[in-house]
Amino acid sequence: MKTIVIAIGGNSLIKDAQHMSVPDQYAAVVETARHITDLLEDRYRIVVTHGNGPQVGFILLRSEHSRGILHQVPLDSIVADTQGALGYQIQQALENEFRRRGLKTSVATIVTQTLVDRHDPAFAKPSKPIGQFYTCEEAEDRMRVEKWAMFEDAGRGWRRVVASPKPVRIIESEVVKHLVKDGYVVIAAGGGGIPVMADEQGNLSGAAAVIDKDLAAAVLAEAISADLLVIATAVDKVSLNYGKPNEQALDSMTAAEARRYIAEDHFQAGSMLPKIQACLQFIESGGREALITCTAVLSAALAGKTGTRIVG
């Protein structure tokens, strides 16, 4: 039986600007749970990871509105909060779907820490925007009082930026591996994992950073010896010249071809590029293959009918 790690995006849990409430998010999770359950019936062992970008933004906004009344919430705690809340929704939706289909499988959500290097260059150059926009005066106050790094975003206002270091190791990977071996569906490394750093004695502490969830999924997939890494996105296949008249959908590509396409600027940062990079990391660290496709066509993609496969 093959083990697959499926990374779903935080934005995929929000249909549009009119459907952002918790019930709306759960409705989207229920739909995703149906597609994941199809794979379980196809006899795969499954680990689910998820994004949390919009949800982190919501918590930051709540924290901002309660400024002066309640304490500010540290970013590592916010990631932990979203792991619990989204893990709960995914877990419940999966268990309900399993029950509907008469499946006896259980689900476990793991609050997951991701080790990053305290000397990662990303800490010296924070670049990941998070949270709301601020006026110049508000930004000056946050930079002075909170010691935030901030930047002015093309006339739209000022935003906080934090480091986005590379994931080094998933702290709870052995727990995940054992649970998967015992037949559980596992939800782990939500939001890329809670970013933590180790001191000289190996003691861990949280970091004010965010980790790319696809890269973290690749590290987790490698650690548990997964057979396949699946990156779920909004399109069925990866394309060259995306959105142009000469757009070309790809059924597959080698790692060498993927690197050439990156050099030719076919994939945009903040969109398809990190997904390709995550797949490359998995393949080049010994993984067999990776797949990029849309959640709605997961079964067809695993059957080779759609999706883009990346191989060594």
Indicate which residues carry an active-site annotation: 10-11, 128, 213, 275
Residue 254: HSE in the Cβ half-sphere, 13 Å Cα cutoff: 4
Element (H, E) at 81: helix 75-101
Output b/e per residue, 51-73; b: 16+ Cβ within 10 A: bbbbbbbbbbeebeeeeeeeeee
- Asked whether the beta carbons of 90 and 122 are under 8 A apart, the reply is no
Helix axes 213-223, 273-284, angle to 10 degrees: 20
Chain centroid, CA 208 distance in Å? 17
Distance CA(161)–CA(180), nearest Å, equals: 36
Around Cβ 10, how many Cβ atoms within 10 Å? 20
User: Residue 20, SS3?
Assistant: coil
Distance CA(206)–CA(195), nearest Å, equals: 6
Give the pairing of strands 228-233 and 3-8.
parallel
Residues 6+ apart with CB under 8 A from 79: 52, 56, 190, 191, 192, 193, 194, 195, 210
